[in-house]
Amino acid sequence: MQAIQLQWIDYTILVAYVAFVIGIGWALSRYMKTSADFLTSARSIPTWVTGLAFISANLGALELVGMAASGAKYGISTAHFYWVGAIPAMIFLAVFMMPFYYGSKARSVPEYLKMRFDERVRALNSFAFAVMTIFASGISMNALAKLLHALLGWDYNFALFVSSGVVLLYVLKGGLTSAIYTEVLQFFMIVLGFAPVVYLGLKDVGGWHSMNSALQTVATNPAAIYLKDAGTTYAPNAWTSAWQPVLAGPTHNPMGVDWFAMIFGLGFVLSFGYWCTNFLVVQRAMAAKNMTAARNTPLVAAVPKMFFPFLVIVPGMIAAALTTLPDKGYRIPPPVIAQANYDKAIADVKSGNAGNIAADLGKKVDAEKITSLIAANTASKLSDTQIEQGLYNSVAENDYDGVILSLVKKYCPAGLLGLALTALLASFMSGMAGNVTAFNTVFTYDIYQAYFAKGKSDAHYMWVGKVITVVGILLSIGAAYFASMYNNCMDIIQLVFGFVNAPLFATFLLGMFWKRTTATGAFLGLFCGIGSSALFHALTIAQGNTPGIKGGYLTVVSTFPSEMAQNFWLAAFAFIACFTLTLVISLATSRTKSDTDLKGLVYSLTPKIVDNNSPIYQRPAVVGVVLLIVCILLNWYFW
Amino acid sequence: MGLDIRWPIGLMFTLIGALLAVFGLAKGAESVSLGININLIWGAVLLVFGVLMLLGAIKGGKTPPSA
């Protein structure tokens, strides 16, 4: 893809946005008096703000880039990451789990684990979490830098350092509050920045129904637009129905997953493991000003989350549909190829060496298209630009991560382009800031204060919190370089979450709802759960992957139809391992905490919250049920 | 925290919306996508959103940050 030239108006919008986020940090810096102000917002923020921040912290690189990529690759089934993989868990968090997180006065999720179990469980969780946030942040930054490089021609390193510099500046000034406030700003920026792109895309493809009929062509022959290997074919509704292709079995849907992996692996284990135990999101709810506000935070977040597929997945579906319509002059972008390679290939087109072109470009090519390109050039001399365009269209590989940008480039004139680009930047920054603020809290309170320097002054911890913010960003930059080795960011993120989060939910489920769970049971269960994820990954592989890189390091015992199926099954396996072990070991060991110790930490020992005093629309259970019904209706509509 | 987030959100979108709409009016030819002046239309949408946020902040009664 050729670099886009931005005009002054685009830069003005970009600069205005950056100025506002830094300004928010500045305005808040005078409220940062204690480490609690800096790291936990001292529980002071209204619900709608924490709710939108909750969703925005999660709305990182994954959402806009990864979801559009998956929308093109898998169609509407990608929405399961929302309707199955998020909404039920968010409602569960609000109704059942928030009372313990907020009521226990823990400052972080690992601290809750220390209160409920002991230091060992906290240590394990806080270290695993710290590593994971750094990776998540690095992956997001890598994606951003790659995009800015592809889109604007900025240097990868420059993009990486400038964008993390902005985040560093406002997080360092205003701490968690600053991250939360800017996340709300970012939320609106993302929604308002991308909505016109979706609208224009849909208008161009001829509306929802035309898009669906084009996607039926895609489903019957996905190889035509290089989505799958030649010969693969699905039922016409494989891209446009959410459930029927999944229920039909792994060979009948482009994700290659079965319903059990989808519902148990994604919908239960991965989803609850992420939304209910990941401090990155839970931290936003814990910053709310009171218990009702904290419980309503995930519910406020669930409303936009439910409708995000139309903002983030539909662009991918539009891209796949447009690619099948020749008069639109669009294709899902191929991987970025250096100009020097194009030049070599152009020379070979001119001299008719069809056989060399794949090697020139370093990519698979569509032999038929190359033959007709050479024929066209022989018949009437084409210009270099025309030949290059022909070569671009002949590359038989897709760079799905480039989908969203290619649409922005296609539809946005100067001005709107700046807005969409700023929205993209906002999504990366919110993801990065979310990770960094979760990392600095866990590191300061659960690692540094717990194990290295107990009983220091609050000013000391505030200083450490700030230093750790800087260290966290530096480590993320390191992780970004690591992440640059992988192609589709979604898969690797799911993998990391699978290792760490999948077993964790079993620990919480047993810990919160069964008072007999012992610290030793929880610790060994969790430890072996994480170990079993790694073992599972070492013994399995997805079809088409070479053993050693993405699984199968030891030997290949089982092969899955897709990486996604492998990840879902890994999660399911790790959860069952952790659950069973925790259960068995708890029964075999004796309790170290009495019922009184566990009051406020375990369901059966905590007085139930009576919310008869609040208006009906503020009662988490009522709102939760309504949201669940809407979510089921969405699933039913896209059946 | 003493800062009402509606102030910065309102100010930013009012500013960007106005800018985009004016750009759309002044440079109509460069602002068209699929036959509509998207900068003008979307700038107006952002402007309305920004003003609504500002009104909310004013009604909420908190002063803008003095810093």
Q: What is the pLDDT of residues A163-175, one digit of tens each?
A: 889 999 998 888 8
Q: Cα–Cα distance between A509 and A505 in angstroms, integer? A: 6
CA gap A173, A466 in Å, rounded: 9
How close, in Å, is residue B66 to chain A by CA atoms? 8
> Shortest CB distance from A413 goes to which of B19, B31, B67?
B31
pLDDT score of A1: 46
Phi-psi group of A151: left, alpha or beta (phi > 0 → left; psi -120 to 50 → alpha; rest → beta): alpha
Q: What angle do CA A455, A459, A465 make, to 5 degrees?
A: 90
- Interchain CB distance below 8 Å, B3 and A24: yes
Least confident of A261-265, A319-323, A421-425, B32-36: B32-36
Residues of A in contact with B31 (CB under 8 A): 413-416
Strand-pair category, A558-560 with A540-542: parallel
Are the C-beta atoms of A261 and A572 separated by less than 8 Å? yes
Closest CA to A222 of A16, A99, A75: A75
For strands B32-33 and B36-37, give the pairing.
Answer: antiparallel
Mean pLDDT on A395-406: 87
Instruction: Report domain extents, chain B.
Output: 6-60
> Measured between CA atoms, how close is A372 to chain B, in angstroms?
31
Domains of chain A listed by start with CATH number: 8-324+405-637 (1.20.1730.10), 334-397 (no CATH)
pLDDT at A201: 94
- Model pLDDT, residue A274: 85
Kindly report the pTM of this predicted structure.
0.89
Residues of chain A with Cβ-Cβ distance to B46 below 8 Å are 192, 419
Query: CA-CA distances (angstroms) from residue A277 to A283, A300, A506?
Result: 10, 18, 10
The string of pLDDT tens digits covering residues A443-468 is 998 999 988 888 888 889 989 999 99
Indicate yes or no: CB of B11 within 8 angstroms of CB of A20. yes
Rounded to the nearest 10°, the torsion over CA A221, A223, A229, A231 is 40
CA–CA min distance A183, chain B (Å): 10
Chain A residues whose C-beta sits inside 8 Å of any chain B C-beta: 9, 12-13, 16-17, 20, 23-24, 26-28, 30-31, 41, 44-45, 49, 177, 181, 184-185, 188, 192, 196, 200, 203-204, 411-416, 419
Residue owning tokens 């018949």: A379
Other beta carbons within 10 Å of A29:
17
Q: Which residue reads 């919160």 in tokens?
A: A512
Q: Give residue for tokens 């803008």.
A: B64
Phi-psi region of A165 (alpha: psi -120 to 50; beta: other; left: phi over 0): alpha
Share of chain A above pLDDT 90, in %: 28
Helix H or strand E segment including A562: none
Nearest chain B CA: its distance from A219 CA (Å): 28
Higher-confidence position of A546 and A364: A364
Confidence (pLDDT) at A497: 63
Whose structure tokens read 């600069």?
A: A15
Q: What is the pLDDT of residue A612?
A: 67
